[in-house]
Chains A and B, each alone.
Chain A
């Protein structure tokens, strides 16, 4: 019975609790209200439940502590600063995050692709050393530091077998050497141009503009003194042709200077024509180049023959016989018979060698490089003491080699009869 009462109480409390909260339907509520009028115990129970509810309700409200909102906001901001991206993601929205991830992935792919392309191009190309000539930037190097000056005594013979001693001063510039070192593996010819102009500044500015127009990547300018400038650069022969054409005009003359490997034999071709210049520029073999130069010099009746102990006999033979290139027998001099194979191997010009090996030599021949040194100096005044023929020859020699000495006693080597003493 007691158990039944308890069960009844539980059911009654459940119904009264719902009635108290207004959670009963209208029919059930009416039933309860009818029973409440009849059952005092039920009324008592409802009253007690109502009081319990009221007491809990009257516990009152405790306000949130001050700064709670700040604390929460700070915590979120702290998460943002610590890059807890899950909070960021919720704040920024999924779509935005998706875009950001996509952009990041795309950037990564592009970066990897670019790096891969660069690596591929670098690794796939064979290494070919070549001179720098990429930009039109003109590089000027001031000649502040002293240079190594090599003085060479040379005996020059003209038609009258007159011998004069000419000092040859070759400024060995380290930077020029570095350029030459870079292309040491490539076939190239050496050529020195001496430009005598009436106005040095005009001449140099024209020259520099020409280098820029012809896109010569690197030119080393050396100012010997206020009247002497020297430019060194390397270019292909076709480019040299344009440069030579640009340098040459009616107000100046260009002398070509060619020397052998050791610099002991030097030949000057005065007032050189473009054809002569190209012939010399196209020959990488110094000895053959020298021979060409001597031919040109003799043809111009400016007999300027370089002579050294080694090649004395040979040079004399050259001067006397004026052999053609095909008949040239250089090695060991004219008396020695050299078989054709040896000559072809050693001295045959590159174009001829190529012709022997291919059907279409002219088109497939790679461009030959020319290491050019251009010396700009003032045009020489006529020397009244010299005859016209002598003047021609000697002035050309002088104009080419008579650069002022720097800290050297080269003047002591000058023949007092030569115009060199005028400088």
Chain B
């Protein structure tokens, strides 16, 4: 398995720092703006709420989509998360950012959804129903990398394997991976969203990565 960005073998900590700084910067930039919008929402301003939805819908939807693996379910759960966020604005104290609070709702919905799905066992992260939407994301990436068809095929294969490996994870472990490696949040933020101690985030993440590594190595062999 060759990583095209394999240039941080000797500078991993600096890479990690950049990722964390970027995530923090994103959240900090939106903080004051979110406060104003939330204030307006509390007075019944629907336009302000719509602005909040537009601001965070892509990030939340993507995270939810990676969690549940089904496009329609992801759309439904994302809508539900925004709806509940709006209903629960009174409970929002502003101790954490709106983004954190919104993701907490979204992740809880996903975990509950995953539990229900486990009972009926009908979903598959790498199922055929995901191929269309997953292909869209891959096409965007391929164009961005300006790679050859062989590379694109390899990337597509890798993504299929990653999705399959993610499917094997517990919902709580998957949430940690999604929030860290996709949403690029630090441990403290993940702990805040999932409402668990930072140590739990650390252990869950290491277990999840180990499991993914096993799955991916197994597939490679």
Contact = CB atoms under 8 A, between A and B. Distances in A.
Given A86-B87, A87-B86, A60 B9 contact: no
Dominant secondary structure at the B interface: helix
B133 A18 contact: no
Contacts of A65: 61, 71, 75
Interface in A33-77: 33, 43, 46-65, 68-69, 71-73, 75-77
Nearest to B210: A13
A276 interface: no
B206 A47 contact: no
B203 A14 contact: yes
B181 interface: yes
A86 B53 CA distance: 20
B113 interface: no
Given A56-B162, A56-B166, A93-B43, A69 B202 contact: no
Contacts of A22: 13, 15-17, 19-20
B205 to A, nearest CB: 6
A317 interface: no
A72 B61 contact: no
Dominant secondary structure at the A interface: helix
Query: Which of B13, B19, B43, B158 is the most central at the interface, judged by chain A CB atoms within 10 Å of its CB?
Result: B13
A48 B78 contact: no
Contacts of A13: 206, 209-210, 213
Interface in A80-96: 86-87, 89-94
A18 B198 CA distance: 11
A63 B6 CA distance: 27
Query: Which of B61, B65, B209 is the most central at the interface, judged by chain A CB atoms within 10 Å of its CB?
Result: B209
A164 interface: no
A64 B58 CA distance: 5
Nearest to A91: B44
Interface stretch (B27-35, B115-123, B137-145): B137-145
Contact of B86 (A20, A24, A58, A90): A90
B146 interface: no
Query: Which of B8, B16, B66, B207 is the most central at the interface, judged by chain A CB atoms within 10 Å of its CB?
Result: B16
B206 A10 contact: yes
Kindly list the 7 A-B residue pairs having the minimum CB-CB distance in the complex, ordered from nearest.
A22-B16, A64-B61, A60-B137, A14-B206, A91-B44, A56-B181, A64-B57
11 contacts: A18-B202, A22-B13, A22-B15, A33-B13, A51-B1, A61-B182, A64-B60, A68-B53, A72-B83, A89-B90, A91-B41
Interface of B: 1, 3, 5-6, 8-9, 12-13, 15-17, 19-20, 41-44, 46, 49-50, 53-54, 57-62, 65-66, 71, 75, 78-79, 82-83, 86-90, 133-134, 136-138, 140-141, 155, 158-159, 162-163, 166, 177-178, 180-182, 184, 186-187, 202-203, 205-207, 209-210, 212-213, 216-217
